[in-house]
Amino acid sequence: MTTDGGGWLNVATLKKADSSSAWTTEISYRGISNYQNNLMGISTSAMRQLRSHLNFTQLRFHCSKENGRTFHVITVNNSTGEAVVQYFSGQSSVLPASCGSFITMKDDNSYLAQQCHRWGNDGSHYVGKWGHFNKNEEQRMYDRSAFVAHRYHWVAYNKLWLCDESGGNVFAISSEDFWKIYVR
């Protein structure tokens, strides 16, 4: 992976080939070897295991849909970005600040990345934080890890496949659409 200087390790590759495509999170970091099946993602506890072996400092979220929407961000390599890494690695349950915690890549054309000040839910919406306080902890990278309530979402969980779109305005899924997460 040569994106932004390279060194990226894929920890989730999700492509929904058809309406019957389903996936479950791998409970061990070793599950990343299943990336070829295009339905591989590791759980929060697996991310914690991985971090104990590989002290990664950045995360990269990338989704793209045929409808033209692409969300592609990389956490910054400082204490603000570290809070995001700790949250998604299960080392912290504190929802980290979103604005200032990431940079957008050249191909990002999302509304989501432009509205970080409206992300998240820590008991109320529009709080400027990654994540949702009331979601399955093991799925926190996949279920509304970045979202503006009722508007723009990163979701590849529980029959929802959203990339910069809302649950009420879902674009059709094509075989080229994907959701990927990397660490370095």
pLDDT tops 80 at residue 50: yes
**Mean pLDDT of the 56-76 span:** 95
Average pLDDT over residues 105-134: 97
Residue 175 confidence class, pLDDT cut points 50, 70, 90: confident
Higher pLDDT, 160 or 184: 184
Which is more confidently placed, 134 or 144? 144
Positive or negative CA dihedral for 132, 80, 60, 92?
negative
Between residues 20 and 158, the one the model is more confident about: 158
Residue 1 has pLDDT above 70, yes or no: no
pLDDT in tens, 29-43: 999 988 888 889 999
What are the b/e assignments for 110-134, b being 16+ CB within 10 Å? bebbebbebbbbeeeeebbbbbbee
DSSP letter (8 states) at residue 37: G
